[in-house]
Structure 1
Amino acid sequence: MTQPAPSAFGRLPILILLGAAVLGAILLRDWLSFEALAENRAALLAFRDANYGAAVAVFVAAYAAIVAFSLPGALLCTLTGGFLFGLFPGALYNVAAASTGAVVLFLAARAGFGARFAARMESQGGAVARLQAGLRDNEWSVLFLMRLVPVVPFFVANLIPAFLNVPLHRFAVSTALGILPGALVYTSVGTGLGEILARGEAPDVGVIFTAPVLLPLLGLAALSALPIVLKFWRRGR
């Protein structure tokens, strides 16, 4: 059964997010940079020390907004979480903020276009419908794979489930757990960010592609893909 077209009000959230993403990428480009963080690191640390609770709230809200608006600053925020709050609870703040922003974008996309898009795919039949059915049969595995394998852009991994009408609880749980390993790595890098910025250098964000980090992540990805492989093997038999 074809879903009714979303109303103008239903499309408003995703349109607002898209508009803000374009404006933010233009207007905030200089602010979402390591240079800006280096210039303001003393002020940020002083604010954290004087108002810890407010600092946590502002950080989580700002990080969530950056993710929801798909602005190019999520990695910088993760490093900043480690810089300001340490590995723990910094990693928890990072995961909570990124997951919240992802859920906001997911809900906005699904309300605006996702349900109707999914229904249209299913009504077309053929290969498209079979692909959609296959994804539904392996939703947990596919959702975890998109988070664990660092080749899918984060904002794309937020939109695809919305367009396939994935249940909210599956999206939220797989997002929070799936980004946790990477968040731990980058938060750990961020704990040493103060000394790196003081030397006028940039952190090595490519650390996630080194063997000691990448191999465990790929192992988790393989574990997530195992149910899919077993299903295909059983069907083949």
Structure 2
Amino acid sequence: MGQRRSSDLVRRLPILLILAVAAAGALLLRDRLSFEALAQHREALLSFRDAHYGLAVAGFVATYVAVVTFSLPGGLICTLTGGFLFGLFPGVFYNVAGASAGAVLLFLAARAGFGARFAERIAAQGGAAARLQAALRESEWSVLFLMRLVPVVPFFVANLLPAFLNVPLHRFAISTVLGIVPGALVYTSVGTGLGEVLARGEAPDLGVIFTPPVLLPLLGLAALSALPIVVRLWRKGW
């Protein structure tokens, strides 16, 4: 019994550490990862990028990975900074790499700590929750892409829910990388003009993703992702 408890603690330690850092970060880093902080340090960041490009890329991606893994405030700031420092291309690749790697690390920690056993308990208990779990598994690809494409789903929620349902790693990773590309393109593009906006003492228009030219294509992609679910329900006579 003692050995089993020790094994459970070791397995849950990563996600417990992540939760602790996330709680501390929400209190301590709220003002440090902000537009004001970026405006204050933009010249230093640009100078460091020009002098040490490789280190700037590595440091940026590592920071983005940490922000996503520990669910720290500032994910959007990181995406904008990627465009600000590195342009649309290759900035969008650095943004997608950092966000995807952080999401995978959080997913793995959550699944190892709670996800697998949580999913097993739902299946064993039966009832409505088990039926919902089974329905989701029938359409995992569609559901995973929908969570990434629909802007109303918080990023950290889209990382944790699949872990609790014990989604296979390859499905989570592929849907994450491909599913965040459209949003990353939009906000990286906004970041490319961030220098002028910050120089004027203004904040960028983050509502751009909800404008028709951007939102409608995203909803179109979401509709394509949902199509297999609709077809499956239609065949079942729902």
TM-score range, shorter chain: over 0.9
Aligned to 1:180: 181
Aligned to 1:35: 36
Alignment size in residue pairs:
234
Shift of 1:28: 1.5
Q: What TM-score do you get using the length of structure 2 for normalisation? A: 0.96
Aligned to 1:87: 88
Question: Aligned AA for 1:71?
Answer: L
Aligned to 2:167: 166
Distance in 2 separating the partners of 1:159 and 1:191: 30
Aligned to 2:215: 214
Asked if 1:200 is matched to 2:166, the reply is no
The DSSP-based 3-state class of the residue aligned with 2:180 is helix
**Aligned runs of 1:14-163 on 2, under 5 Å?**
14-163=15-164
Question: Aligned AA for 1:64?
Answer: V
Shift of 1:122: 0.4
- Name the % identity: 77
Distance in 1 separating the partners of 2:128 and 2:27: 40
Q: What TM-score do you get using the length of structure 1 for normalisation? A: 0.97
Please report the RMSD computed on the Cα atoms of aligned residues, expressed in angstroms: 1.1
**Runs of 4+ deviating beyond 4 Å:** none
Please give the per-residue CA displacement for 1:195-232, whole angstroms capped at 9, x wherever unaligned. Answer: 00000000001100000000000000000000000011
Shift of 1:97: 0.2
Question: Aligned AA for 2:87?
Answer: G
Distance in 2 separating the partners of 1:107 and 1:143: 16
User: Is the Cα contact below 8 Å between 2:29 and 2:73 reproduced in 1?
Assistant: no
Question: Aligned AA for 1:177?
Answer: L
Shift of 1:25: 1.5
The DSSP-based 3-state class of the residue aligned with 2:71 is coil
The DSSP-based 3-state class of the residue aligned with 1:236 is coil
Question: Aligned AA for 1:20?
Answer: V
Question: Aligned AA for 2:232?
Answer: K
Please say which of residues 121-130 and 154-163 is displaced more in the overlay.
121-130
Distance in 1 separating the partners of 2:94 and 2:156: 19
